[in-house]
Protein backbone atom coordinates (compact mmCIF):
# COMPACT_ATOMS: atom_id res chain seq x y z
CA UNK A 1 0.00 0.00 0.00
CA UNK A 2 1.20 3.53 -0.76
CA UNK A 3 0.07 6.38 1.46
CA UNK A 4 -0.20 10.12 0.98
CA UNK A 5 -1.86 13.00 2.79
CA UNK A 6 -3.63 15.70 0.85
CA UNK A 7 -5.94 18.70 0.95
CA UNK A 8 -9.26 18.56 -0.89
CA UNK A 9 -9.35 21.32 -3.50
CA UNK A 10 -12.86 20.69 -4.81
CA UNK A 11 -15.57 18.08 -5.19
CA UNK A 12 -15.75 17.16 -8.88
CA UNK A 13 -18.88 15.01 -8.82
CA UNK A 14 -21.17 12.97 -6.57
CA UNK A 15 -23.38 10.08 -7.67
CA UNK A 16 -25.57 7.37 -6.20
CA UNK A 17 -28.41 7.20 -3.66
CA UNK A 18 -28.17 9.01 -0.33
CA UNK A 19 -26.26 7.02 2.25
CA UNK A 20 -24.43 5.06 -0.46
CA UNK A 21 -23.05 7.94 -2.50
CA UNK A 22 -19.63 8.09 -4.08
CA UNK A 23 -17.64 11.26 -4.70
CA UNK A 24 -14.70 12.12 -6.91
CA UNK A 25 -12.61 14.87 -5.35
CA UNK A 26 -9.58 16.79 -6.53
CA UNK A 27 -6.76 16.68 -4.00
CA UNK A 28 -3.33 18.32 -3.70
CA UNK A 29 -0.68 16.08 -2.12
CA UNK A 30 0.79 17.77 0.96
CA UNK A 31 2.79 14.92 2.44
CA UNK A 32 4.58 11.95 0.88
CA UNK A 33 6.91 9.45 2.61
CA UNK A 34 10.69 9.92 2.30
CA UNK A 35 12.03 8.55 -0.96
CA UNK A 36 8.72 8.75 -2.83
CA UNK A 37 9.33 9.04 -6.57
CA UNK A 38 5.73 9.64 -7.67
CA UNK A 39 2.87 11.74 -6.33
CA UNK A 40 5.10 14.01 -4.31
CA UNK A 41 4.30 17.16 -2.38
CA UNK A 42 2.24 19.68 -4.33
CA UNK A 43 1.06 17.26 -7.04
CA UNK A 44 -2.67 17.11 -7.82
CA UNK A 45 -4.68 13.90 -8.12
CA UNK A 46 -8.23 12.68 -8.21
CA UNK A 47 -9.56 10.53 -5.39
CA UNK A 48 -12.67 8.50 -4.63
CA UNK A 49 -14.54 8.72 -1.34
CA UNK A 50 -17.36 6.41 -0.25
CA UNK A 51 -20.05 7.92 1.92
CA UNK A 52 -20.67 4.69 3.79
CA UNK A 53 -16.97 4.35 4.72
CA UNK A 54 -15.68 7.85 5.45
CA UNK A 55 -18.49 10.24 4.67
CA UNK A 56 -17.98 12.74 1.87
CA UNK A 57 -15.06 15.18 2.35
CA UNK A 58 -15.41 18.87 1.65
CA UNK A 59 -13.07 21.44 0.08
CA UNK A 60 -10.28 22.49 2.44
CA UNK A 61 -10.37 19.21 4.35
CA UNK A 62 -7.31 17.10 5.07
CA UNK A 63 -7.61 13.49 3.87
CA UNK A 64 -5.42 10.40 3.96
CA UNK A 65 -5.10 8.57 0.65
CA UNK A 66 -4.09 5.14 -0.62
CA UNK A 67 -2.49 5.69 -4.04
CA UNK A 68 -0.95 2.40 -5.24
CA UNK A 69 -3.24 1.87 -8.27
CA UNK A 70 -2.90 5.51 -9.30
CA UNK A 71 0.89 5.42 -8.92
CA UNK A 72 1.10 2.38 -11.19
CA UNK A 73 -0.90 4.07 -13.93
CA UNK A 74 -3.76 1.58 -13.97
CA UNK A 75 -6.67 2.49 -16.20
CA UNK A 76 -9.45 0.89 -14.21
CA UNK A 77 -9.01 1.63 -10.54
CA UNK A 78 -6.64 4.46 -11.34
CA UNK A 79 -7.84 6.77 -8.60
CA UNK A 80 -6.46 7.56 -5.22
CA UNK A 81 -8.77 6.26 -2.48
CA UNK A 82 -9.80 8.33 0.53
CA UNK A 83 -9.19 6.04 3.50
CA UNK A 84 -9.67 8.51 6.36
CA UNK A 85 -10.55 12.08 7.25
CA UNK A 86 -8.17 12.52 10.19
CA UNK A 87 -9.71 15.77 11.38
CA UNK A 88 -13.19 14.26 11.58
CA UNK A 89 -14.34 11.03 13.20
CA UNK A 90 -17.52 9.89 11.41
CA UNK A 91 -20.45 8.89 13.57
CA UNK A 92 -21.13 5.22 14.12
CA UNK A 93 -23.70 3.80 11.71
CA UNK A 94 -27.07 2.67 12.95
CA UNK A 95 -27.08 -0.89 14.31
CA UNK A 96 -27.57 -3.34 11.48
CA UNK A 97 -26.60 -6.76 10.24
CA UNK A 98 -23.59 -8.91 10.85
CA UNK A 99 -22.34 -9.75 7.37
CA UNK A 100 -18.79 -8.51 6.94
CA UNK A 101 -17.57 -7.83 3.40
CA UNK A 102 -14.00 -7.15 2.28
CA UNK A 103 -13.37 -9.26 5.35
CA UNK A 104 -10.27 -8.65 7.46
CA UNK A 105 -9.29 -5.61 5.42
CA UNK A 106 -8.77 -2.37 7.36
CA UNK A 107 -11.82 -0.94 5.58
CA UNK A 108 -14.06 -3.98 5.97
CA UNK A 109 -17.78 -3.18 5.78
CA UNK A 110 -20.54 -4.62 7.95
CA UNK A 111 -23.85 -4.88 6.15
CA UNK A 112 -27.28 -6.41 6.60
CA UNK A 113 -27.59 -9.39 4.29
CA UNK A 114 -30.89 -10.23 2.66
CA UNK A 115 -30.20 -13.82 3.69
CA UNK A 116 -29.19 -13.39 7.32
CA UNK A 117 -31.28 -14.21 10.35
CA UNK A 118 -33.83 -11.71 11.64
CA UNK A 119 -34.44 -10.17 8.22
CA UNK A 120 -37.77 -10.25 6.37
CA UNK A 121 -36.47 -12.38 3.49
CA UNK A 122 -34.74 -14.99 5.64
CA UNK A 123 -37.81 -17.22 5.83
CA UNK A 124 -38.23 -17.06 2.06
CA UNK A 125 -34.60 -17.91 1.39
CA UNK A 126 -34.75 -20.70 3.99
CA UNK A 127 -37.28 -22.62 1.92
CA UNK A 128 -36.27 -26.15 0.86
CA UNK A 129 -33.82 -26.22 -2.04
CA UNK A 130 -36.29 -28.17 -4.17
CA UNK A 131 -39.06 -25.57 -3.88
CA UNK A 132 -37.27 -22.21 -4.18
CA UNK A 133 -36.08 -21.71 -7.74
CA UNK A 134 -35.62 -19.04 -10.37
CA UNK A 135 -38.64 -20.50 -12.19
CA UNK A 136 -37.00 -20.37 -15.63
CA UNK A 137 -36.22 -16.65 -15.37
CA UNK A 138 -33.52 -15.64 -17.89
CA UNK A 139 -30.19 -14.59 -16.41
CA UNK A 140 -27.77 -12.80 -18.74
CA UNK A 141 -24.17 -13.46 -17.73
CA UNK A 142 -21.46 -11.09 -18.98
CA UNK A 143 -17.72 -10.85 -18.47
CA UNK A 144 -17.26 -7.08 -18.38
CA UNK A 145 -19.15 -4.43 -16.41
CA UNK A 146 -19.29 -2.34 -19.60
CA UNK A 147 -21.70 -4.89 -21.10
CA UNK A 148 -24.47 -3.92 -18.65
CA UNK A 149 -25.95 -0.89 -20.45
CA UNK A 150 -25.69 -2.69 -23.79
CA UNK A 151 -27.62 -5.68 -22.43
CA UNK A 152 -30.30 -3.27 -21.21
CA UNK A 153 -30.44 -1.70 -24.66
CA UNK A 154 -31.15 -5.11 -26.17
CA UNK A 155 -33.84 -5.81 -23.60
CA UNK A 156 -35.60 -2.58 -24.56
CA UNK A 157 -35.10 -2.85 -28.33
CA UNK A 158 -38.07 -3.49 -30.60
CA UNK A 159 -37.98 -6.76 -32.50
CA UNK A 160 -36.77 -6.43 -36.11
CA UNK A 161 -39.44 -5.73 -38.70
CA UNK A 162 -40.37 -8.83 -40.64
CA UNK A 163 -39.46 -8.94 -44.32
CA UNK A 164 -43.12 -9.48 -45.18
CA UNK A 165 -44.78 -6.41 -46.75
CA UNK A 166 -46.85 -4.38 -44.35
CA UNK A 167 -45.41 -5.86 -41.16
CA UNK A 168 -44.25 -3.64 -38.31
CA UNK A 169 -41.80 -3.88 -35.44
CA UNK A 170 -43.22 -4.89 -32.09
CA UNK A 171 -42.48 -2.97 -28.91
CA UNK A 172 -41.67 -5.23 -25.93
CA UNK A 173 -43.26 -4.43 -22.60
CA UNK A 174 -41.10 -2.72 -20.00
CA UNK A 175 -39.17 -5.37 -18.12
CA UNK A 176 -38.06 -5.26 -14.52
CA UNK A 177 -34.30 -5.79 -14.60
CA UNK A 178 -32.05 -6.39 -11.59
CA UNK A 179 -28.25 -6.33 -11.66
CA UNK A 180 -26.30 -8.84 -9.55
CA UNK A 181 -22.72 -7.63 -9.08
CA UNK A 182 -20.09 -10.25 -8.35
CA UNK A 183 -16.75 -9.52 -6.71
CA UNK A 184 -14.31 -10.06 -9.60
CA UNK A 185 -13.76 -6.34 -10.18
CA UNK A 186 -14.54 -3.40 -7.91
CA UNK A 187 -15.93 -4.48 -4.55
CA UNK A 188 -17.92 -1.27 -3.87
CA UNK A 189 -20.96 -1.10 -6.13
CA UNK A 190 -21.21 2.68 -5.50
CA UNK A 191 -18.01 3.09 -7.55
CA UNK A 192 -20.04 2.46 -10.71
CA UNK A 193 -21.36 5.67 -12.24
CA UNK A 194 -23.00 3.44 -14.85
CA UNK A 195 -25.19 1.68 -12.30
CA UNK A 196 -26.09 4.96 -10.60
CA UNK A 197 -27.20 6.46 -13.92
CA UNK A 198 -29.09 3.35 -15.01
CA UNK A 199 -30.99 3.23 -11.73
CA UNK A 200 -31.70 6.96 -11.76
CA UNK A 201 -33.18 6.66 -15.26
CA UNK A 202 -35.30 3.67 -14.28
CA UNK A 203 -33.55 1.27 -16.66
CA UNK A 204 -32.47 -0.81 -13.65
CA UNK A 205 -35.02 -1.72 -10.99
CA UNK A 206 -32.49 -2.75 -8.36
CA UNK A 207 -29.09 -4.17 -7.51
CA UNK A 208 -27.69 -6.99 -5.41
CA UNK A 209 -24.03 -7.18 -4.38
CA UNK A 210 -22.77 -10.70 -3.67
CA UNK A 211 -19.68 -12.36 -2.26
CA UNK A 212 -17.18 -9.74 -1.09
CA UNK A 213 -18.84 -7.02 -3.17
CA UNK A 214 -20.95 -4.53 -1.23
CA UNK A 215 -23.16 -1.48 -1.65
CA UNK A 216 -26.15 -2.83 -3.58
CA UNK A 217 -29.80 -2.33 -2.70
CA UNK A 218 -29.55 -5.83 -1.25
CA UNK A 219 -26.52 -7.71 0.05
CA UNK A 220 -26.10 -11.48 -0.21
CA UNK A 221 -23.49 -13.96 0.90
CA UNK A 222 -23.42 -15.97 -2.32
CA UNK A 223 -24.35 -15.57 -5.95
CA UNK A 224 -27.03 -18.21 -5.41
CA UNK A 225 -28.87 -16.22 -2.75
CA UNK A 226 -28.21 -13.04 -4.73
CA UNK A 227 -30.00 -14.52 -7.75
CA UNK A 228 -32.91 -15.74 -5.64
CA UNK A 229 -33.22 -12.36 -3.95
CA UNK A 230 -33.18 -10.57 -7.31
CA UNK A 231 -36.02 -12.77 -8.51
CA UNK A 232 -38.21 -13.14 -5.42
CA UNK A 233 -37.43 -10.06 -3.31
CA UNK A 234 -36.87 -7.45 -6.02
CA UNK A 235 -39.24 -9.08 -8.52
CA UNK A 236 -36.89 -9.30 -11.49
CA UNK A 237 -38.18 -10.41 -14.88
CA UNK A 238 -34.58 -10.54 -16.08
CA UNK A 239 -31.36 -10.68 -14.07
CA UNK A 240 -27.98 -9.49 -15.35
CA UNK A 241 -24.84 -10.87 -13.70
CA UNK A 242 -21.45 -9.22 -14.19
CA UNK A 243 -18.44 -8.22 -12.15
CA UNK A 244 -18.05 -4.63 -11.04
CA UNK A 245 -15.90 -2.07 -12.87
CA UNK A 246 -12.43 -3.41 -13.46
CA UNK A 247 -11.25 -6.66 -14.98
CA UNK A 248 -8.16 -8.55 -13.91
CA UNK A 249 -6.20 -10.53 -16.49
CA UNK A 250 -2.72 -12.01 -16.61
CA UNK A 251 -2.37 -13.29 -20.21
CA UNK A 252 -2.61 -16.86 -18.93
CA UNK A 253 -5.38 -19.29 -19.93
CA UNK A 254 -7.04 -19.37 -16.51
CA UNK A 255 -5.81 -16.20 -14.82
CA UNK A 256 -8.62 -13.71 -15.35
CA UNK A 257 -11.52 -12.59 -13.19
CA UNK A 258 -14.08 -13.31 -15.90
CA UNK A 259 -13.60 -17.05 -15.37
CA UNK A 260 -16.41 -16.62 -12.83
CA UNK A 261 -18.90 -16.38 -15.73
CA UNK A 262 -18.71 -20.15 -15.97
CA UNK A 263 -19.48 -20.49 -12.26
CA UNK A 264 -22.46 -18.18 -12.75
CA UNK A 265 -23.85 -20.42 -15.50
CA UNK A 266 -23.67 -23.37 -13.13
CA UNK A 267 -25.35 -21.40 -10.34
CA UNK A 268 -28.23 -20.26 -12.56
CA UNK A 269 -28.80 -23.80 -13.82
CA UNK A 270 -28.68 -25.23 -10.30
CA UNK A 271 -31.42 -22.78 -9.29
CA UNK A 272 -33.70 -23.60 -12.21
CA UNK A 273 -33.04 -20.44 -14.20
CA UNK A 274 -32.19 -20.01 -17.87
CA UNK A 275 -28.50 -19.06 -18.29
CA UNK A 276 -27.93 -16.69 -21.21
CA UNK A 277 -24.25 -16.47 -22.11
CA UNK A 278 -23.30 -13.01 -23.31
CA UNK A 279 -20.19 -13.34 -25.47
CA UNK A 280 -17.29 -10.95 -25.09
CA UNK A 281 -16.61 -9.93 -28.69
CA UNK A 282 -14.30 -7.36 -30.24
CA UNK A 283 -13.33 -6.31 -33.73
CA UNK A 284 -10.90 -3.62 -32.56
CA UNK A 285 -8.88 -5.04 -29.66
CA UNK A 286 -5.16 -4.97 -30.42
CA UNK A 287 -4.72 -8.31 -28.64
CA UNK A 288 -5.39 -11.33 -30.83
CA UNK A 289 -6.74 -13.36 -27.89
CA UNK A 290 -9.65 -10.93 -27.53
CA UNK A 291 -10.58 -10.49 -31.22
CA UNK A 292 -13.69 -12.24 -32.38
CA UNK A 293 -14.93 -14.14 -29.33
CA UNK A 294 -12.49 -13.46 -26.50
CA UNK A 295 -10.64 -16.37 -24.95
CA UNK A 296 -12.33 -15.26 -21.71
CA UNK A 297 -15.73 -16.35 -23.05
CA UNK A 298 -14.36 -19.46 -24.74
CA UNK A 299 -12.76 -20.63 -21.49
CA UNK A 300 -15.48 -19.59 -19.04
CA UNK A 301 -18.36 -21.01 -21.07
CA UNK A 302 -16.47 -23.79 -22.81
CA UNK A 303 -14.57 -25.26 -19.86
CA UNK A 304 -15.78 -23.85 -16.54
CA UNK A 305 -19.53 -23.96 -17.20
CA UNK A 306 -20.68 -27.57 -16.95
CA UNK A 307 -24.38 -26.75 -17.35
CA UNK A 308 -25.87 -25.82 -20.70
CA UNK A 309 -26.46 -22.15 -21.52
CA UNK A 310 -28.06 -20.24 -24.37
CA UNK A 311 -24.98 -18.92 -26.18
CA UNK A 312 -26.17 -15.81 -28.00
CA UNK A 313 -24.37 -15.31 -31.31
CA UNK A 314 -24.92 -11.89 -32.91
CA UNK A 315 -25.30 -11.94 -36.68
CA UNK A 316 -22.48 -9.55 -37.45
CA UNK A 317 -21.56 -8.54 -41.00
CA UNK A 318 -18.22 -9.08 -42.73
CA UNK A 319 -15.07 -10.77 -41.54
CA UNK A 320 -15.85 -10.32 -37.85
CA UNK A 321 -19.15 -12.10 -38.36
CA UNK A 322 -17.42 -15.03 -40.05
CA UNK A 323 -14.88 -15.31 -37.24
CA UNK A 324 -17.53 -15.20 -34.51
CA UNK A 325 -19.62 -17.77 -36.36
CA UNK A 326 -16.74 -20.25 -36.56
CA UNK A 327 -15.76 -19.78 -32.93
CA UNK A 328 -19.36 -20.11 -31.75
CA UNK A 329 -19.76 -23.32 -33.73
CA UNK A 330 -16.85 -24.85 -31.82
CA UNK A 331 -18.08 -23.48 -28.48
CA UNK A 332 -21.50 -25.06 -28.95
CA UNK A 333 -20.24 -28.44 -30.16
CA UNK A 334 -20.62 -31.51 -27.89
CA UNK A 335 -18.06 -31.48 -25.10
CA UNK A 336 -16.23 -34.28 -23.30
CA UNK A 337 -17.18 -32.64 -20.00
CA UNK A 338 -20.36 -30.67 -19.52
CA UNK A 339 -23.68 -30.35 -21.30
CA UNK A 340 -23.85 -29.06 -24.86
CA UNK A 341 -24.66 -25.37 -25.09
CA UNK A 342 -27.64 -24.14 -27.10
CA UNK A 343 -26.56 -21.84 -29.90
CA UNK A 344 -28.97 -18.92 -30.45
CA UNK A 345 -28.37 -16.68 -33.48
CA UNK A 346 -29.80 -13.19 -32.99
CA UNK A 347 -30.23 -10.44 -35.55
CA UNK A 348 -28.60 -7.10 -34.76
CA UNK A 349 -31.09 -5.16 -36.85
CA UNK A 350 -32.21 -2.15 -34.85
CA UNK A 351 -29.67 -2.70 -32.09
CA UNK A 352 -27.35 0.20 -33.07
CA UNK A 353 -30.32 2.53 -32.68
CA UNK A 354 -31.22 0.94 -29.33
CA UNK A 355 -27.66 1.37 -28.09
CA UNK A 356 -27.66 5.03 -29.10
CA UNK A 357 -31.02 5.49 -27.36
CA UNK A 358 -29.68 4.05 -24.10
CA UNK A 359 -26.81 6.52 -24.20
CA UNK A 360 -29.23 9.38 -24.76
CA UNK A 361 -31.88 8.26 -22.26
CA UNK A 362 -29.57 7.37 -19.37
CA UNK A 363 -26.53 9.58 -19.94
CA UNK A 364 -24.30 6.50 -19.86
CA UNK A 365 -21.54 6.62 -22.44
CA UNK A 366 -20.89 3.16 -23.85
CA UNK A 367 -17.25 2.35 -23.32
CA UNK A 368 -15.31 -0.90 -23.14
CA UNK A 369 -11.56 -1.08 -22.66
CA UNK A 370 -11.35 2.58 -23.72
CA UNK A 371 -13.38 2.09 -26.91
CA UNK A 372 -16.81 3.50 -27.64
CA UNK A 373 -19.65 2.33 -29.86
CA UNK A 374 -18.10 3.73 -33.03
CA UNK A 375 -14.67 2.23 -32.34
CA UNK A 376 -15.84 -1.30 -31.46
CA UNK A 377 -19.50 -1.82 -32.39
CA UNK A 378 -19.26 -5.62 -32.25
CA UNK A 379 -18.58 -5.52 -28.50
CA UNK A 380 -21.82 -3.73 -27.76
CA UNK A 381 -23.92 -5.49 -30.39
CA UNK A 382 -23.00 -8.87 -28.88
CA UNK A 383 -24.18 -7.73 -25.44
CA UNK A 384 -27.34 -6.14 -26.84
CA UNK A 385 -28.12 -9.35 -28.72
CA UNK A 386 -28.00 -11.26 -25.42
CA UNK A 387 -30.49 -8.78 -24.00
CA UNK A 388 -32.77 -9.16 -27.00
CA UNK A 389 -32.79 -12.94 -26.55
CA UNK A 390 -33.54 -12.63 -22.82
CA UNK A 391 -36.53 -10.41 -23.61
CA UNK A 392 -37.84 -13.10 -25.95
CA UNK A 393 -37.46 -15.71 -23.23
CA UNK A 394 -39.51 -13.62 -20.79
CA UNK A 395 -42.38 -13.55 -23.24
CA UNK A 396 -42.51 -17.36 -23.19
CA UNK A 397 -42.94 -17.56 -19.40
CA UNK A 398 -46.42 -18.26 -17.99
CA UNK A 399 -48.44 -15.14 -17.26
CA UNK A 400 -46.33 -12.85 -19.46
322: pLDDT strictly greater than 90: yes
Tally of domains within the chain = 2
Q: Is residue 95 part of a domain?
A: no
Residue range 89-127, pLDDT digits in tens = 888 888 889 999 999 998 899 999 999 999 999 999 999
Domain boundary among 36, 62, 84: 84
My answer on whether 65 and 137 are in the same domain is no
My answer on whether 58 and 151 are in the same domain is no
What gap in Å lies between CA 58 and CA 264, rounded to an integer? Answer: 40
Q: Is residue 93 part of a domain?
A: no
Domain boundary among 84, 100, 131: 84
My answer on whether 287 and 382 are in the same domain is yes
Domain boundary among 58, 84, 110: 84
163: pLDDT strictly greater than 80: no
What gap in Å lies between CA 377 and CA 371, rounded to an integer? Answer: 9
**CA distances for 243 relative to 187, 232, 356, angstroms:** 9, 21, 23
Q: Is residue 100 part of a domain?
A: no
Q: What CA dihedral angle connects 97, 98, 103 and 105, to 10 degrees?
A: 70
Whole domain around residue 26: which residue ranges? 3-84
My answer on whether 162 and 306 are in the same domain is yes
Per-residue DSSP letters for 297-322? Answer: HHHIIIII--S--EEEEE---HHHHH
Q: Which CATH number do you get for residue 30?
A: 2.40.50
Q: Is residue 324 part of a domain?
A: yes
What gap in Å lies between CA 148 and CA 192, rounded to an integer? Answer: 11
Rounded average pLDDT over 338-367? 97
What gap in Å lies between CA 216 and CA 192, rounded to an integer? Answer: 11
Mean pLDDT for the chain overall: 93
Instruction: Band the pLDDT of 165: cuts 50, 70, 90.
Output: very low
Amino acid sequence: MMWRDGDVLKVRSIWGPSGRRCAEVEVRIVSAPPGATVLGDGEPCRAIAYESLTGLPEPGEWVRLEVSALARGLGTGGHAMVTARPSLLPADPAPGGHLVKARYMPDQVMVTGVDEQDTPAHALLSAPIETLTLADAPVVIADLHSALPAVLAGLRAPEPTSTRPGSTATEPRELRVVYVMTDGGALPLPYSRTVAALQHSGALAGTVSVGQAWGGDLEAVSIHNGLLAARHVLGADVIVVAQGPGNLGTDTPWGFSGVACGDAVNAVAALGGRPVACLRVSEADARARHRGISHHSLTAYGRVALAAADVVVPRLPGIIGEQVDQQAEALCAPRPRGATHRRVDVSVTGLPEALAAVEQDTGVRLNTMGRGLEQDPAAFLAAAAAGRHAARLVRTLPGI
